[in-house]
């Protein structure tokens, strides 16, 4: 049944056309998300989903593939037989070579006239230009069309600009949805409310009240089947340039004048343009690159990155990055932002830690070294917000210990919590651009990241080794320790 937050359906029927429709992303994320959107009444009743791929499925074969491969990614409690069969009835499949313009005649035959078309490009970015050119050549792009671009959006600033230019030849900026699934997470969207819906925090949300900001996105998984892609990409391109910078923008942005998409994205752009550019000396001092060697994760032995299938034996690709950066603005003057991400880490964890300044003077003789208050915003594995305060330890004396005020977002609200891709796909259907990157945002992020990548090449330093199942190279802890900080682990 639709929930109480269901929005009115769009006026036109929807054809959702997924390029890469039999790929890993579609199987694990997109199709389950579209089913959940259908189950809860967030798709137009006459929606059709057309998967495009190289496999030679017919419609029945593709439906069988979806039942076998995608259904396991849907929780059993949500698999309502009638709804699932209705969802399967929406599916179709077109086998084609996306680089061959003549193949698009078959796609045009399957897509209905007079509908809203959403093209989801779940393919390598090298195919984006060809797909958009061919869609336009076959008359499939009009004012009711939208295109969703999956990351990575380029390898550097020049390639990102090339993609933006190619897509922009056929789609207006208001029709382009550059997706970053982190922006679909409930807690990430809650950051806007936390910051701008609570008067108690706004006066404190600035220097010198905030001493530091930490953003960690740690993964326990290795590269798996993505080795071919990952070794040419690395952790900075794969995670920092998009996910971590988007989190930083929401933490550091000024209040937008409204929730209009461009008002929000204007403020995020200002943050990206205010990020301090790193000189070669800054890069050598304030960044740490790592690459995991064999170890144990969750009690299971795992191989080194260079022993993963498809990874060259002499690979210099980083699987871990830690860095210190600054936002050169009045609100954040001299406040360090510490960013960290890595694969094969000790724990799967995504969180933001706002460390408030210590009291100017302590009357308590046994004050801990880091007695400041912290706001801990956890995105995964569970979503929660904690405010850490100091309290007296029971007993004689005045010894202080940190205690937490917890907002458990799982239990605070009874409504179902949609997954990130489901929420963002609904935004695509509804035409809401707020949680998608604008062209100038993307290019500003690359303009900041490119000099770091170039600096690493110039320095010619190999990534530091760290044991799989650890928190990264020792240099990561030293990066903070020399400034009197420590990672919250």
Kindly list the catalytic residues.
243
User: How far apart, in Å, do the first and last CA atoms of the chain sit?
Assistant: 41
Rounded distance between C-alpha atoms, residue 153 and residue 242, angstroms: 9
Over 336-367, what HEC string results?
CEEEEEECCECCCEEEEEEEECCCCCCCCCCC
Rounded distance between C-alpha atoms, residue 236 and residue 446, angstroms: 11
Q: By the 8 A CB rule, do 44 and 34 touch? A: no
Rounded distance between C-alpha atoms, residue 390 and residue 388, angstroms: 7
Q: By the 8 A CB rule, do 421 and 30 touch? A: yes
The helix or strand, by DSSP H or E, that contains position 14, with its residue range, turns out to be strand 14-19
The strand ranges marked E within 393-461 are 400-408
The helix or strand, by DSSP H or E, that contains position 182, with its residue range, turns out to be none
Rounded distance between C-alpha atoms, residue 113 and residue 100, angstroms: 22
Local structure of 137: helix, strand or coil:
helix
Which is nearest to 47 in space by CA: 343, 481, 318, 430?
A: 430
Q: By the 8 A CB rule, do 241 and 446 touch? A: yes
The strand ranges marked E within 109-171 are 116-121, 145-149
How far is C-alpha 7 from the geometric centre of its chain's CA atoms?
A: 25
Rounded distance between C-alpha atoms, residue 228 and residue 231, angstroms: 6
Local structure of 467: helix, strand or coil:
strand
Rounded distance between C-alpha atoms, residue 464 and residue 407, angstroms: 38
């Amino acid at each position: 049944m639709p929930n109480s937050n269901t929005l009115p359906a769009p006026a036109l029927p929807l054809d959702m056309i997924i390029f890469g429709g039999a790929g890993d992303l579609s199987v694990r994320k997109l199709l389950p998300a579209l089913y959940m959107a259908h189950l809860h009444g967030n798709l137009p009743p006459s929606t059709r989903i057309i998967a495009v791929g190289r496999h030679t499925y017919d419609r029945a074969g593709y439906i069988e593939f979806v039942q076998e491969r995608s259904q396991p990614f849907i929780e059993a409690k949500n698999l309502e037989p009638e709804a699932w069969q209705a969802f399967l009835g929406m599916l179709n499949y077109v086998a084609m070579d996306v680089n061959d313009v003549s193949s698009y005649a078959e796609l045009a035959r399957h897509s209905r006239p007079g509908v809203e078309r959403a093209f989801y490009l779940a393919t390598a970015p090298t195919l984006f230009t060809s797909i958009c050119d061919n869609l336009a050549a076959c008359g499939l792009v009009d004012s009711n069309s939208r295109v969703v671009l999956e990351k990575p959006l380029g390898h550097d600033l020049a390639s990102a600009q090339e993609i933006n230019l190619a897509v922009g030849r056929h789609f207006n900026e208001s029709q382009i949805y550059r997706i970053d699934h982190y922006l679909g997470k409930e807690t990430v969207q809650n950051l806007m409310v936390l910051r701008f819906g609570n008067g108690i925090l706004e006066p404190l949300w600035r220097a010198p009240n905030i001493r530091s900001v930490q953003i960690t996105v740690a993964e326990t998984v290795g590269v798996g089947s993505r080795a071919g892609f990952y070794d040419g990409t690395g952790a900075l391109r794969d995670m920092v340039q998009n996910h971590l910078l988007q989190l930083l923008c929401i933490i550091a942005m000024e209040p937008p004048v409204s929730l209009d998409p461009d008002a929000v994205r204007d403020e995020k752009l200002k943050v990206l343009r205010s990020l301090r550019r790193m000189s070669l000396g800054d890069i050598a001092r304030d960044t740490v690159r790592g690459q995991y060697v064999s170890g144990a994760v969750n009690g299971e032995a795992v191989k080194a990155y260079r022993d993963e299938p498809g990874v060259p034996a002499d690979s210099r690709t980083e699987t871990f990055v830690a860095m210190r950066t600054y936002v050169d603005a009045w609100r954040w003057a001299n406040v360090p932002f510490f960013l960290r991400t890595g694969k094969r880490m000790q724990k799967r964890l995504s969180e933001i830690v706002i460390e408030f300044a210590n009291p100017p003077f302590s009357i308590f003789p046994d004050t801990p070294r880091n007695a400041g208050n912290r706001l801990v915003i956890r995105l995964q594995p569970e979503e929660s917000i904690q405010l850490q305060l100091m309290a007296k330890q029971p007993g004689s004396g005045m010894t202080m210990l940190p205690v937490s005020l917890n907002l458990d977002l799982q239990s605070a609200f009874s409504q179902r919590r949609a997954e990130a891709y489901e929420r963002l796909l609904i935004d695509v259907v509804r035409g809401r651009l707020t949680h998608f990157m604008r062209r100038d945002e993307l290019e500003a992020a690359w303009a900041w990241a490119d000099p770091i990548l170039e600096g690493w090449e110039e320095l010619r330093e190999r990534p530091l080794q760290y044991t799989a199942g650890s928190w990264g190279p020792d240099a990561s802890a030293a990066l903070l320790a020399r400034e009197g900080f420590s990672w919250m682990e």
